[in-house]
Every structure is written in C-alpha cells, then in structure tokens.
C-alpha cells in the first residue's frame, strides 16, 4: 500500500543551493602534477587522502597510469578531505589510459565525506579512449562511490558511448555476480549536459551494470541535439542492465531537440531498464521520484515519467517499480509509428514487471496525436505488458491528491 509517508517521508532530500562556491574550497589550476607533497596527497596503508585540488588531479593521474586502488583482493579507500573548485578548467574523465586487460578501471572506494566538487567541466571529449564521459569515465567490479557532491557541472560531448555526472559506465560481465555489486551511495549532481550522438546519458550515471544506487539525486538539465541515431536518456541513469535503486530523485529537465534521434528511450529517472541476467531476485526502483519536465520534439520514442522502457526479458527475474511518482510535465511530438508515452513507464516489453503504489501527478501534452493510427499508444500510467499493476493512480490536481491520500490512509488502517 502507498503509505502517506512512502516516498515523500523516506527520501534523504539534499537541496541544491544557489550557485555559490564554498569559501573554503581549494581552486584547481588546471594542471595534472607528476609529484605532490603530503599536504596535497597522503597515504596510510590502504587509505589515501586528497587534501587539495592538486591532490585530486594527482589521484586522477594515478588512475590514468594504471593504479586501480586494490591491494590483492581488498579495495583501497580514497578520502576527499576538502571542497574543491575545478574552476571550469578542462577535466579529463578518470580512467586507466592504457588498460592491460581491456576492463581496467578504478576499483577502490572513493569517499567524498560529504564534500563538494564545484564547476566540473568536460568539453568535446568522447571519453578519453574509453568512450565514457563523467567525473569517472568508468568503474570496475569492486568500486564504490559515496558521499560526494558535484555542483554546477557543465558537460558537452559528441559521440560518447556513455555520459554521466558521477560516472559514464559501470557495465560488468555476468561473472561479477559472484562478488558484491558496485555501489553509488549518497551522491548528488547539479548542472547541465549538452550531448550529440551519445548512446547513453544520465544526470548521475550513463550506464549502470550490476549496481546498487541509494540516496542519490540529480538536478541536471540534459539537452540532446541533432543526433542521427538512437539513445537512452534519463534524469538519473541513461541505461540500466542490473539495477537496484532506492531513495533517489531527479529534478532536471530533459529536452530532445527537433530533428534529433531516430529512436530512443527517455525517462525522468531511467531511459532504458533491461534484465539481461537471471538471479531469481528482483531488480527494482523503490521510493524514488522525478520532478523534471520532458520535452521530446521528435517522434518514434519510448518516453516515461519514471522509465522510458523496461525489458523484462529474463523469466524468473522480475522488475519491481514501487513507491514512485512523477510530477513533471511531459510534452511529446506524437506522430510516428512506434511512439509510446506514459506518465510512469513509456513501454514495458516481455512482462515480468510489477508496477505498484505509484502516482503520476504531472501534465501530459502531445502534438499531432491521432488515435488508432499506427503502432503507438499514450497512457497516464504505462503501456505494454506488466505482470501486475497495483495501487497506481493518475492525479489531475491537488484536491484529488489530498482525497487520494485520505483514501489510501483509511484503506491502510483497515489492513
């Protein structure tokens, strides 16, 4: 049952304040140093401490040279001890420049300790040879990023495989299911992205492989311009293959410019969510919401207020969407075969999906819609095939919302 608190009371809200840099933030000069002093970078066994902007740049260069921060099988921890202002200088996404095994990447724990990195700027780069763009380009199987805030990011990219504020790509092989999943915990991103011909774009993460995401948010305005191909774009995550996410939200707007994309999946939280590996336990999105607007001035897309498209292709492994809501406005050019728009889910393919206790509170506008023409559909909740839909509602105004909460509270008290 959708409790009165539900998603509203349990999310760890982290407010984005005005565009001001902390007075204590150390400012980067744009140089990646070969050597640093202990005042910038300190080491104590399996613990490493970033004490300045120069120390952060040194850490990035260490990873680039092949240090992935694992001691045997034990991940090492890197602590950020200060706020840092990158000052709009050109940042190179953190990755191993010449991977030996083809999948080498940061494999330790990066703990921001609640600190903020301001003014991350990445321009016209396709991912430093990895095809991935973000503060981190990619992550390896044991990596964890936690307690980190990125404020006022400015990312523009053409032709990247994956673009995300925190990380571009976390894709893993099935063998990594034998270990513990990667985790992104207590992270926030704010700013803007402008992308062209990028396959997967998210305010937080471009592609999420085997990943747990908790207590994270993004307030990133994403604009897709003049792409000739397909893309997965989400306010938080562009594409998710094996995802468990809870207590997260997105408040950024997504705009798909005219004459962009021939196909794609666009979602307030996640563009595309696919189950491609059987575990017997559900993948899920729980206690999450989207409050950003979606404007798609092209047709032929799957557009959803929470998720653009879900593909539950593996039998026995369910997808659960529970305690979610979308309060954003959705505007869509609806004049092409294969167009689907849903207040919660654009389209669900192959079933194996349970949609529960969720609300669409926003406004939906479509252009050039003709009922009954072609393979297309518009719904205030979801299109396609689900295993179950339970306690999901489209709410037109606040009066109806108050009545709905009262109804649900009374219904819950009777159980």
310 in Cβ contact with 350 (< 8 Å): no
In a domain? residue 21: no
- Please give the pLDDT value at position 135: 97
Give the tokens for residue 170.
């976390």
Q: Does residue 128 sit within a domain?
A: yes
Residue 71 lies in a domain: no
Q: What is the pLDDT along the chain (415 residues), one digit of tens a residue?
A: 333 334 444 444 343 334 578 888 999 999 999 999 999 999 999 999 999 999 999 999 999 999 999 998 899 999 999 999 999 999 999 988 766 665 678 999 999 999 999 999 999 665 444 589 999 999 988 899 999 999 999 999 988 999 999 999 987 544 444 445 679 999 999 999 999 888 999 999 999 988 899 999 999 999 988 666 778 999 999 999 888 999 999 999 999 887 677 788 999 999 999 876 666 567 899 999 999 999 987 777 889 999 999 987 666 667 889 999 999 998 876 555 667 888 899 888 877 788 888 988 878 776 654 443 344 455 666 777 666 788 888 876 555 555 555 544 444 444 4
The answer to whether 203 touches 188, Cβ cutoff 8 Å, is: no
The pLDDT score that the predictor gives to residue 59 is: 98
Q: What is the reported pLDDT for 237?
A: 98
**For the residues of 312-358, what is the DSSP string, one character each?**
--STT--EEEEEEEE-S-EEEE--STT-EEESSEEEEESS-EEEES-
Residue 48 belongs to a domain = no
How many domains, the chain? 1
- Is 33 within the bounds of a domain? no
Is 35 part of a structural domain of the chain?
no
| pLDDT for position 241 | 84
CA 82 distance to own-chain centroid: 25
Which domain range does residue 290 map to? 6-13+79-413
Q: Across the strands, what pairs with 388?
A: 354
- Residue 378's pLDDT is 58
42 located within any domain: no
Residues 6+ apart with CB under 8 A from 330: 293, 294, 303, 305, 341, 343, 362, 363, 364, 365
Task: State the pLDDT at residue 411.
Answer: 44
Write down the pTM of the prediction: 0.87
For residue 90, tell me if it sits in a domain: yes
Tokens 């109804």 belong to 407
CATH assignment at residue 236: 2.160.20.110
Instruction: Specify the pLDDT at position 229.
Output: 73
């Amino acid at each position: 049952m959708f409790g009165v608190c539900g998603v509203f009371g349990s999310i760890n809200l982290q407010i984005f304040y005005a565009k001001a840099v902390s007075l204590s933030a150390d400012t980067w000069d744009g140089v990646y140093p070969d050597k640093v002093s202990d005042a910038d970078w300190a080491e104590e066994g399996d613990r490493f401490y970033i004490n300045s902007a120069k120390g952060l740049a040194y850490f990035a260069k260490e990873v680039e040279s092949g240090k992935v921060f694992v001691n045997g099988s034990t991940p090492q921890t890197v602590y950020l001890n200060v706020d840092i202002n990158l000052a709009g200088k050109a940042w190179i996404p953190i990755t191993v420049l010449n991977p030996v095994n083809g999948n080498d990447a940061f494999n330790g724990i990066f703990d921001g300790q609640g600190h903020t990195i301001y003014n991350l700027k990445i321009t016209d780069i396709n991912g430093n040879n990895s095809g991935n763009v973000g503060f981190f380009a990619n992550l390896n199987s044991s990596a964890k990023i936690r307690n980190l805030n990125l404020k006022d990011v400015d990312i523009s990219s053409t032709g990247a495989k994956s673009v995300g504020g925190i990380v571009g790509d976390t894709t893993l092989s099935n063998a990594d299911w034998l270990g513990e999943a990667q985790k992104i915990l207590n992270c926030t991103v704010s700013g803007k992205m402008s992308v062209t011909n990028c396959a997967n774009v998210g305010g937080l993460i471009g592609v999420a492989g085997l990943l747990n995401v908790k207590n994270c948010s993004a307030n990133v305005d994403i604009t897709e311009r003049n792409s000739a191909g397909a893309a997965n774009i989400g306010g938080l995550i562009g594409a998710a293959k094996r995802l468990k996410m809870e207590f997260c939200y997105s408040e950024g707007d997504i705009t798909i410019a005219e004459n962009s994309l021939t196909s794609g999946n666009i979602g307030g939280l996640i563009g595309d969510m696919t189950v491609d590996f059987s575990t017997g336990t559900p993948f899920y999105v729980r206690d999450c919401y989207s409050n950003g607007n979606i404007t798609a001035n092209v047709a032929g897309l799957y557009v959803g207020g929470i998720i653009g498209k879900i593909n539950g292709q593996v039998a026995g492994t369910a997808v659960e969407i529970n305690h979610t809501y979308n309060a954003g406005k959705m505007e869509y050019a609806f004049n092409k075969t294969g167009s689907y728009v849903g207040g919660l889910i654009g389209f669900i393919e192959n079933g194996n999906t349970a949609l529960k206790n969720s609300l669409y509170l926003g406004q939906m506008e479509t252009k050039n819609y003709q009922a009954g023409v072609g393979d297309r559909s518009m719904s205030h909740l979801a299109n396609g095939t689900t295993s179950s839909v339970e306690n999901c509602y489209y709410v037109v105004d606040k009066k109806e919302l108050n009545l709905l909460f009262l109804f649900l509270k009374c219904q819950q008290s009777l159980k």
